[in-house]
Chain A
Amino acid sequence: MTKKIIWLVIATGIASIATQLVVIREFLTLFSGNEFVISITLFNWLFLGGCGTLLSKILLNFIKPSYFLASFLSFVLCIIGTIQIPVFRLLHNTIFIMGSSTGFYQVFVFTFLVSAPYCILLGYLLPFSLALARKNEKQLPSSIIYIADNFGDALGGAVFSFFLVWFFSPVQAIFLSSLPLLFLAFYINKEVCRKQETRNKREDTRTRKKGIELVFCIVTGIFSLCLMTACLFLEPHTLAINKIKPEFYRETPYARVAVYKSSQGHAFFQNSVPLFDTKNLIQAEKTVHYPLSQIENPESILLISAVSGVFLEIEKYPFKRVDYVEIDPQVSRALFDYSFLKPLDKMNVIQKDARSFLEHSNIRYDAIIMNLSDPDTFQVNRFFTREFFDVVSQHLTDKGVFSFSITGFNNYPSTFMVKKISSLYATLETCFENILVLPGSEMFFMARESSDFNLDIPALLRKKDVKTKYIENYFQADLIRERVSRLYDFIDKDSHQNRDFSPVLIKISFNEWFEKFQTSPLIFRIIISGIFLIYLFFIKGVQSLLFFTGFFAMAAQIMIIFAYQIFFGYIYLKIGFMITLFLAGLLFGAYFGEKTDKNLAKAWMIKADICLVFLMAGFILLLKFLPYVLKEELFGLAAFCFGFFCGFEFPCGAKIKQETLSKITGLFAADLVGASFGVLIFSLILLPSLGLVRAGVVLVVMKVLGLMRFLIWKN
């Protein structure tokens, strides 16, 4: 039966990791694509998993593990996994005010509570499975279960990243990934009952009991399957806004894209954020005419993403070439199919990441118009950094104009808004000679190398005989001039530049998020640091080393994800891939760790720890001094290596700890809780305050201190 338990653990790993990845994406969408949500979700997952593991330390003394219970709990896990996506959506719509954004603490508490049932149960199942397996085979090493779990995780990650994400909706993906677990849960119980029946013909009572359990198991299994199937049908209904279902809905590898019908046309949503509707005249006019009015004869135009109606406005100029870069084919498809954009004759639609496109292109444009959302995520911030502005400046003609907009202010800029504008201004100033910032609820930045900007845009348009409805009648140059001059009084031109690895705008946005909800990140930081220190106080020796390894490994994983995001963009697509490689690393590490000699386990742990420190130091040095050598494969390799050394340490630790169930449970928990704090402290405290490279240095220091603590304990 041990083998079957191992298969059950593998199936649990497959289902759980696919569920985790779907849940991350779901929360990213529900809370509008903020990457800090990834960190919060991972923290919840790991921390609650750790709590579930710790819980088993107590519960296993009272509830003896049995195959029946294993089956039952697996059914419950499948049900919760599948049902949770529709439940998240319904609860989100019920609890929060419709159409409103959510504050950090709201996100934290909501995700923590709704993730709890699944994560605690999952955390409980790992030591439970070990205890169950040891009923048959008392000497079974814990690392076998650990390896099986990692194998399942890696397999689940791969299946999700390379297959499920491309073809299935969130609930469908969870449903499919849960099927092996559902089958195994049923099969194990049936097998046990069959064997029990043949072995114990004389023991009627026990046989009857097993029979009842089998019937119960069949009923639960069928019920689970029915409930999960019902979720598949329920899923589309949970996407409705104001009871209106989307006409177009795609879970693309980049985001959730949806188009809703309204009484005058359609509205376009990305990750639950309404970007525009078909009547989008004001935004379209501003986007196109502010920059193009400044150019004598705009012939070649590059659009980085687009907003509804822009091509109609571009058509008013005698252009020769329009390149429209959009990474997500489903977005451009929706925009053209639902008449947000009218195709132009001389237009090229380029399905690529805009930064990568520009880096590999040698075309020069008269205007580069960027239509991206605000730079408050790493995904978007990489288009607002000095490094990107440098690339843009190399692709502009002599009098070419680069333009973009961010959410602005109506009458008075908040402190954070001033910081944002100042940082963007200072960053632009390093690459362009002339800069113009136009205030408004949407604030436009325009930059060019030569020639000043003319603020009388209506006059420029009249000269070109370009007719507009909004600019001609609402843009009053003299009043705007007064507002521009007031805005310039606020700008601090010596502000910090926004860089790829020192994302000032992310830090500002992070703090602004708290400010908007009249809360402060300080309380959160104090609470988290307090719990971190208290936990650290109570663990010693191997547990503490594994705690730091878990911490370090997950922080490193987050660092890789964010660095990857900066280099290549669109974490939504690659997060599954990166996590899969990390899990594969864990698996191989655990396999080799299991092979080590029991007497040399401590020494191997220390060596693995030193390797982790050097690995991180090397990664930081590459980021800082040789970023151009960091190809996509190297990020994958780094994820794998961090996972390898982390996975390697667990079996070594288990060998030192003599393999008693209680101690092993403590190690599982230390690893998980350490990992959860690694995610949270790195991404929500270190990264926003210090930037990527310096936060990495702090990680190295912390790991060295953890190792020293272990060595001191050892002596």
Chain B
Amino acid sequence: MEKLTRREFIAKGAVGLPACLLLPHNLFAARLNSGIFKNDAPEKLWKWSKEAMFYKKSGQNKVICLTCPNMCVLSPGDRSVCRSRVNINGTLYSLAYGNPCTVHIDPVEKKPLFHFRPGSRVFSIAATGCNFRCLNCQNWEISQARPEDVRFHDMFPEKVVEKTIASQSMAIAYTYSEAITYYEYMVDTAMIAKRKNISNFLISNGYIRQKPLKYLCQFIDAANINLKSYSEKIYQKLNRGRLNPVLETLKTLHHENVHFEITTLIVPGYNDDDQMLKKMCDWILNNLGDSHPLHFLRFFPQYKLNRLKPTPVAILDRFRKTAMKMGINYSYLGNVPGHEGNHTFCHACQKLIVERDGYKISQFNIKNSRCIFCKTKIPGIWS
């Protein structure tokens, strides 16, 4: 058992006392809401509900969801942590199927995916729900909402693909909220898209179990996994999640040869620690190699974490340099316009090979996936 520090003891005691006084009210949402939602499922199947792909039945009509490591055990009428799965009469359904609440066209750089057809456009969709509770969520309006609570588009997988083609986008990104929570919808859409030569991007926190992930890898062309920190404690404190399953996801994507990039948001006072960064880079180099691009994003006050100042650019700059010095070939900065950390430099000859002015590509010096100066192969999909 982990020992409590004195500070934690005071904090937990002070939180526990008032919480006991006012329970069962959800006073300390970030701490207590990570559980399932009892009796919150609709009485009848809602709209386009679809049976979940990965779950097992248990006694007394209970089900255990096997999509993500939360492994919610749901009695009939219960709703999962991610809010989009419900147990109706002993069957697990996804409520997020066919009803994305957000549909936009974005530049691929916004995902961010810097090594996948730079300058192209991506049809981006999201349904509600998330298996984390990040205090700094950028999309809390949908990630912390139920499918029934938002305005949605009726858009079955076929229609998503049609719209993608019509908008001249080269890929579909499952993004904004947490794609794993609408897993079935993503898989069905990705399958059809793949047949029509449209790429599929998984933009995710990587909190998924191995079996569904391996199945998904058949259809996914690229991924951006948000490695929120390299600390179990910070994962618990800021995200209500766990680090290890995310690391497992990264390993699996690597072994399955899916192109992926890693994003880490640097939150001042939490993961802006050089030692932590070095450990993280060490792990990446040892387990994934040096070719997967690593993005450091600048934090801006968001959602509930809005009493922190933005990350100083100097720290991001230092992190990028440290990562590259340790051997990660491609490291970028996000949310810092005009910084050289937005461009791609060949890891062999150090020459500028992709110059990005925001979402525009102003120089592109890669031919046949190789640097035009030194002919070194540049990891990624370039054409």
Q: Which residues from 460 to 508 on chain A have a C-beta closer than 8 Å to any C-beta of chain B?
A: 469-470, 472-474, 476, 479, 482-483, 486, 490
Q: Specify which chain A residues have a CB less than 8 angstroms from the CB of B149 in the assembled complex.
A: 415
Please tell me if B15 contacts chain A, counting CB pairs below 8 Å.
Answer: yes
Q: What range describes how many residues of A lie at the interface?
A: 35 or more
Smallest Cβ-Cβ distance to A109: which chain B residue: B18
Q: Specify which chain A residues have a CB less than 8 angstroms from the CB of B304 in the assembled complex.
A: 100-101, 516-517
Please tell me if B151 contacts chain A, counting CB pairs below 8 Å.
Answer: yes
Stretch at the interface among A127-135, A258-266, A343-351, A683-691: A258-266
- State the Cβ distance, B101 to closest chain A Cβ, in Å: 6
Please tell me if B211 contacts chain A, counting CB pairs below 8 Å.
Answer: no
Known contacts A95-B15, A490-B151; is-contact A409 B309 (Cβ 8 Å): no
CB < 8 Å neighbour of B358 from A106, A265, A470, A517: A470
Please tell me if A242 contacts chain B, counting CB pairs below 8 Å.
Answer: yes
Known contacts A99-B307, A242-B268, A417-B141; is-contact A277 B312 (Cβ 8 Å): yes
- Asked if B135 contacts A100 (CB within 8 A), the reply is yes
- State the Cβ distance, A237 to closest chain B Cβ, in Å: 16
Q: Which residues from 286 to 331 on chain B have a C-beta closer than 8 Å to any C-beta of chain A?
A: 300-310, 312-315
Known contacts A260-B309, A482-B104, A518-B29; is-contact A412 B337 (Cβ 8 Å): no
Please tell me if B176 contacts chain A, counting CB pairs below 8 Å.
Answer: yes
- Which residues of A come within 8 Å of B, CB atoms? 32, 91, 94-95, 97-101, 103, 105-106, 109-110, 113, 241-242, 260, 262-265, 267, 269, 272-274, 276-277, 279, 281-282, 409-415, 417, 441, 469-470, 472-474, 476, 479, 482-483, 486, 490, 516-519, 523
Q: Specify which chain B residues have a CB less than 8 angstroms from the CB of A518 in the assembled complex.
A: 26, 29, 33, 144
- Asked if A105 contacts B338 (CB within 8 A), the reply is no
- Asked if A97 contacts B104 (CB within 8 A), the reply is no
**A475 CA to B121 CA, complexed, in Å:** 14
Please tell me if B285 contacts chain A, counting CB pairs below 8 Å.
Answer: no
Q: Which residues from 33 to 58 on chain B have a C-beta closer than 8 Å to any C-beta of chain A?
A: 33
- Asked if B22 contacts A105 (CB within 8 A), the reply is yes
Please tell me if B354 contacts chain A, counting CB pairs below 8 Å.
Answer: no
Stretch at the interface among B6-14, B154-162, B344-352, B363-371: B6-14
Smallest Cβ-Cβ distance to A276: which chain B residue: B310
CB < 8 Å neighbour of B141 from A91, A241, A279, A413: A413
- State the Cβ distance, B366 to closest chain A Cβ, in Å: 20
Q: Looking at A470, A473, A490, which has the most chain B CB atoms within 10 Å of its CB?
A: A473
CB < 8 Å neighbour of A103 from B18, B29, B107: B29
**A103 CA to B226 CA, complexed, in Å:** 27
**A91 CA to B107 CA, complexed, in Å:** 45
- Asked if B268 contacts A97 (CB within 8 A), the reply is no
Q: Specify which chain B residues have a CB less than 8 angstroms from the CB of A476 in the assembled complex.
A: 107, 359
Known contacts A110-B18, A476-B359; is-contact A469 B139 (Cβ 8 Å): no
Instruction: Tell me if A's interface is mostly helix, strand, loop or mixed.
Output: mixed
29 A-B pairs within 8 Å (CB atoms) are namely A91-B14, A94-B11, A97-B238, A99-B268, A99-B307, A99-B308, A101-B306, A103-B27, A103-B28, A260-B309, A267-B309, A269-B309, A274-B309, A274-B310, A279-B313, A410-B138, A410-B139, A411-B104, A411-B138, A412-B142, A441-B300, A473-B360, A474-B337, A474-B358, A479-B106, A517-B26, A518-B29, A519-B25, A519-B26
Q: Specify which chain A residues have a CB less than 8 angstroms from the CB of B30 in the assembled complex.
A: 97, 100
Please tell me if B150 contacts chain A, counting CB pairs below 8 Å.
Answer: yes
CB < 8 Å neighbour of A411 from B107, B142, B312: B142
**A265 CA to B315 CA, complexed, in Å:** 12
**A389 CA to B14 CA, complexed, in Å:** 46
Q: Specify which chain B residues have a CB less than 8 angstroms from the CB of A409 in the assembled complex.
A: 141
Q: Specify which chain B residues have a CB less than 8 angstroms from the CB of A483 in the assembled complex.
A: 104
- State the Cβ distance, B103 to closest chain A Cβ, in Å: 8
- Asked if B26 contacts A282 (CB within 8 A), the reply is no
A-B residue pairs, 5 tightest by C-beta = A473-B358, A99-B308, A109-B18, A267-B309, A474-B358
Please tell me if B256 contacts chain A, counting CB pairs below 8 Å.
Answer: no
Q: Specify which chain B residues have a CB less than 8 angstroms from the CB of A97 in the assembled complex.
A: 30, 135, 237-238, 305
- Asked if B27 contacts A264 (CB within 8 A), the reply is no
Q: Specify which chain A residues have a CB less than 8 angstroms from the CB of B145 in the assembled complex.
A: 414
Smallest Cβ-Cβ distance to B298: which chain A residue: A279
- Asked if A264 contacts B358 (CB within 8 A), the reply is no
**A417 CA to B303 CA, complexed, in Å:** 13
- Asked if A282 contacts B337 (CB within 8 A), the reply is yes
Known contacts A100-B30, A106-B27; is-contact A281 B337 (Cβ 8 Å): yes
**A473 CA to B11 CA, complexed, in Å:** 46
- Asked if B337 contacts A470 (CB within 8 A), the reply is yes
- Asked if B18 contacts A411 (CB within 8 A), the reply is no
Q: Specify which chain B residues have a CB less than 8 angstroms from the CB of A274 in the assembled complex.
A: 301, 307-310
Please tell me if B1 contacts chain A, counting CB pairs below 8 Å.
Answer: no
Q: Looking at B106, B126, B307, B337, which has the most chain A CB atoms within 10 Å of its CB?
A: B307
Q: Specify which chain A residues have a CB less than 8 angstroms from the CB of B139 in the assembled complex.
A: 410-412
Q: Specify which chain B residues have a CB less than 8 angstroms from the CB of A265 in the assembled complex.
A: 312
Smallest Cβ-Cβ distance to A490: which chain B residue: B151
- Asked if A109 contacts B27 (CB within 8 A), the reply is yes
**A98 CA to B21 CA, complexed, in Å:** 24
**A328 CA to B254 CA, complexed, in Å:** 56
- Asked if A100 contacts B307 (CB within 8 A), the reply is yes
Interface string of B270-292 (1 = CB under 8 A from A): 10000000000000000000000
Q: Looking at A273, A412, A413, A518, which has the most chain B CB atoms within 10 Å of its CB?
A: A412
Q: Specify which chain B residues have a CB less than 8 angstroms from the CB of A486 in the assembled complex.
A: 104
Smallest Cβ-Cβ distance to A94: which chain B residue: B11
Please tell me if B210 contacts chain A, counting CB pairs below 8 Å.
Answer: no
Please tell me if B252 contacts chain A, counting CB pairs below 8 Å.
Answer: no
Q: Specify which chain B residues have a CB less than 8 angstroms from the CB of A95 in the assembled complex.
A: 10-11, 14-15
Please tell me if B357 contacts chain A, counting CB pairs below 8 Å.
Answer: yes
Q: Specify which chain B residues have a CB less than 8 angstroms from the CB of A470 in the assembled complex.
A: 337-338, 358
- Asked if B312 contacts A262 (CB within 8 A), the reply is yes
**A32 CA to B308 CA, complexed, in Å:** 12
Smallest Cβ-Cβ distance to A268: which chain B residue: B309
Q: Specify which chain A residues have a CB less than 8 angstroms from the CB of B33 in the assembled complex.
A: 518
- State the Cβ distance, A384 to closest chain B Cβ, in Å: 19
- Asked if B11 contacts A264 (CB within 8 A), the reply is no
**A277 CA to B310 CA, complexed, in Å:** 7
Q: Specify which chain A residues have a CB less than 8 angstroms from the CB of B306 in the assembled complex.
A: 99-101, 273
- State the Cβ distance, B308 to closest chain A Cβ, in Å: 3
Known contacts A106-B27, A277-B309; is-contact A263 B135 (Cβ 8 Å): no
Q: 20 more A-B contacts (CB under 8 A) besides A95-B15, A469-B338, A490-B151?
A: A94-B14, A99-B305, A99-B308, A101-B304, A103-B29, A105-B25, A105-B27, A106-B27, A106-B28, A262-B314, A274-B301, A274-B307, A274-B310, A412-B101, A412-B150, A469-B337, A470-B337, A470-B358, A479-B107, A518-B33
- Asked if A94 contacts B237 (CB within 8 A), the reply is no
Known contacts A94-B14, A476-B359, A518-B29; is-contact A101 B307 (Cβ 8 Å): yes
- Asked if A272 contacts B101 (CB within 8 A), the reply is no
Q: Specify which chain B residues have a CB less than 8 angstroms from the CB of A276 in the assembled complex.
A: 310
- Asked if A411 contacts B102 (CB within 8 A), the reply is yes
Please tell me if B59 contacts chain A, counting CB pairs below 8 Å.
Answer: no
Q: Specify which chain A residues have a CB less than 8 angstroms from the CB of B106 in the assembled complex.
A: 479
Q: Specify which chain A residues have a CB less than 8 angstroms from the CB of B198 in the assembled complex.
A: none
**A365 CA to B197 CA, complexed, in Å:** 55
Q: Looking at A110, A479, A490, which has the most chain B CB atoms within 10 Å of its CB?
A: A479
Q: Specify which chain A residues have a CB less than 8 angstroms from the CB of B338 in the assembled complex.
A: 281, 469-470
- State the Cβ distance, B109 to closest chain A Cβ, in Å: 10
Smallest Cβ-Cβ distance to B19: which chain A residue: A109
Known contacts A109-B21, A523-B25; is-contact A262 B309 (Cβ 8 Å): yes
- Asked if A272 contacts B307 (CB within 8 A), the reply is yes
Q: Specify which chain A residues have a CB less than 8 angstroms from the CB of B126 in the assembled complex.
A: 411-412
Please tell me if B105 contacts chain A, counting CB pairs below 8 Å.
Answer: yes
- Asked if B26 contacts A99 (CB within 8 A), the reply is no
**A366 CA to B17 CA, complexed, in Å:** 57
Smallest Cβ-Cβ distance to B101: which chain A residue: A412
**A516 CA to B267 CA, complexed, in Å:** 21
Q: Specify which chain B residues have a CB less than 8 angstroms from the CB of A414 in the assembled complex.
A: 140-141, 145
